[in-house]
A = this chain, B = another copy of it.
Amino acid sequence: MDGSDLPISRLTLPEAAAERLRALIIEGDLPPGARLNERELSERLGVSRTPLREAFRMLAGDGLLVQLPNRGAQVVALSRDDVRHAFELMAVLEGLAGELAAARVTDDDLAELHTLQAEMEAAHGRRDLPAYYAINRAIHDRLSAIAGNPILAHTYRTLNARLHALRFRSNLNVAKWNQAVAEHRDMIAALAVRDGAALRDLLIRHVRAKQQVVLETMNNEEDPGAK
């Protein structure tokens, strides 16, 4: 028996609702701090309150919602400290993914990553920030997959979703952008020679640099009185 005993992946209502909500949160349709009225949302999504509440529980487990007893659910609003803490974790998760990936990467994987890297440099060259982010994400997802640790991948993905809900429209300045692209080049190089320790350290520094960018963005945008 192989692994094909999975159902054709029908989505149950709570799962579908959670998926929709997740998108609404990450797109910013439901902004941080927004209170979620059960009746209203259930009508909007076309499901009854019961599966919607199960969806709430799922998203709360992912850290996208907080649920207060008798006071409903609201979209999580990350404080600067929360962001700092999340990135501290992200850094070691990425680092571990890199270390594991270096031990398992195939030549085919490397070829694919080289292609992505070239696309990234192209996007960088024409100053196409959205494309850059998309490719950047693809590279990190690829790395996570190569690492071959589903628990790590899941933890990483969940944490990432929480940060995406911030929707920091990073005004990445040119110097930092150049730097990031250069770091990516180094990362692929480390991977190519299967130097796990080097790749780990590069990734940790890479994430910490991004942390700086995000925290600076938050400083500029946020009112000082925020939690």
Cβ of A12 within 8 Å of any chain B Cβ, yes or no, is yes
Query: 1/0 per residue A48-85: CB within 8 Å of B?
Result: 00100110011011110000111000000000001001
Q: How far is the CA of A181 from the CA of B95 in the complex (A)?
A: 28
Contacts A69-B7, A82-B151, A151-B82 given; does A14 touch B57 at CB 8 Å:
yes
- Indicate the size class of the contact surface on chain A: 20 to 34
Cβ of A116 within 8 Å of any chain B Cβ, yes or no, is no
Taking CB atoms, residues of chain B closer than 8 Å to A60 are 58, 61
Q: Are A151 and B100 in contact (CB under 8 A)?
A: no
Cβ of A123 within 8 Å of any chain B Cβ, yes or no, is no
Q: Are B96 and A89 in contact (CB under 8 A)?
A: yes
Taking CB atoms, residues of chain B closer than 8 Å to A70 are 12
Q: Are A152 and B57 in contact (CB under 8 A)?
A: no
Query: 1/0 per residue A168-192: CB within 8 Å of B?
Result: 0000000000000000000000000
Cβ of A224 within 8 Å of any chain B Cβ, yes or no, is no
Q: How far is the CA of A12 from the CA of B63 in the complex (A)?
A: 19
Chain A interface (Cβ within 8 Å of chain B)?
7, 10, 12, 14, 50, 53-54, 57-58, 60-63, 68-70, 82, 85-86, 88-89, 92-93, 95-96, 100, 149-152, 155, 159
